[in-house]
Amino acid sequence: MLEVQGHPLDRVVAVINGKGGVGKTSIVANIGALAAAAGYRVLVVDLDPQGNIADDFGYAGTDNDDRGTALHMAIATRQPVEPVTGIRDNLDVLPGGEQTEDLEAVLYARTRREPDAALDALAETLIPIAADYDLILLDCPPGGALLQEAALGAARWLLIPTRSDLSSRKALHTVAQRYVTARAGGARVELLGVVLFGITSSARSIREHARASLEEDLAGVAPILTTVVRYAEAAADEGRRRGLVAHELDAANRLIGGLRVDFTKAQDQRSGRSTSGVTGDSAPGVPCTACCILSICPSAWSRLHFR
């Protein structure tokens, strides 16, 4: 494992689960955008061959979307990498996509010669640019054992989102085993916690049962964050189609709603109708989603000691 002076990767957070559909990309995209909007310099690294960060941030299919080519070349050749800048104010990205899938073969070949190669691979790529950022978020693939190992080797902190179903909890155990192995190999990564994702606010009994099951599974090894990230399918789909994260979608719909109200009021005033009770609406589920993701921050991010 690399010996690093001054720990330039102290604010690298890996978001991992061994199963897809548990909110990894949604959490990375929304926290990254919220932190950037608050003035922090943020880098999002998309390690997932699906490359869904591109949809969430709205750069899919543009010149900024290299489908993971730059990241692949940097790790494969050990050459410097240049993130895509200006995705949002204060927010840069290393895009993912199908090219990152080939990194498994690259890392496998390298580990045959250097046993710690996978743990060091992403860290080597990020160390030269880490000082440019206050927060680096890793969106990790659900599969790809060596890519997950690379993420654990580069990260200082680990956040594990999970749903309440049994398969998600089994995948959590897989990540836990890789975490233990990475620590044994010299990785400095520590657990920020486990966060429940995709449980509706009205499903109190399901939420309590899920927390109890996780507490039994984890046996006190990892904290379960008090925040439960709710999920609205329609709002999530609209946000991804428009390339907007939750708080941006909320603001956009409020603006549209406000314009609709102004137009309706103007029409009513001309016709003499009452305008009372006319209000603008945001997309269903958007404010709660943004607030839930934002509330993860004080319960965990305080450990990152932002400057």
| Region 108-135 average pLDDT | 93
Residue-averaged pLDDT of the chain? 78
Say yes or no to pLDDT of 118 above 50: yes
Which residue has better confidence, 210 or 172? 172
In tens, the pLDDT along 139-192 reads: 999 888 999 999 999 999 998 888 767 777 777 778 888 888 898 999 999 888
Is 43 inside a domain boundary? Answer: yes
pLDDT of residue 63: 95
CATH of the domain at 136: 3.40.50.300
**pLDDT at residue number 130:** 96
Residue 276 is assigned to a structural domain of this protein = no
For residue 252, being part of any structural domain is answered with: no
Q: In what order do the strands lie in the sheet with 42-46?
A: 84-88, 91-94, 42-46, 135-139, 12-15, 157-162, 190-197, 224-229
For residue 268, being part of any structural domain is answered with no
Give the least confident one: 67-76, 77-86, 110-119: 110-119
DSSP codes of every residue in the chain: ----TT-TTTTEEEE--SSSSSSHHHHHHHHHHHHHHTT--EEEEE--TT-THHHHHT-TTSTT--TTHHHHHHHHHT----PEEEEETTEEEE--SHHHHTHHHHHHHHHHH-TTHHHHHHHHHHHHHHTT-SEEEEE--SS-HHHHHHHHHH-SEEEEEE-SSHHHHHHHHHHHHHHHHHHHTT---EEEEEEEES--TT-HHHHHHHHHHHHHHHTTSSPEEEEEE---HHHHHHHHHHT--HHHHHHHHHHHHHHHHHHHHHHHHHHT---TT----PPTTHHHHHHHHHHHHHHHGGGG---
| Domain total in the chain | 1
Q: Is residue 255 part of a domain?
A: no
Indicate whether 267 belongs to any domain: no
Q: Which domain holds residue 19?
A: 12-235+288-304
Assess if residue 204 is contained within a domain.
yes
Is residue 270, in this structure, part of any structural domain at all?
A: no
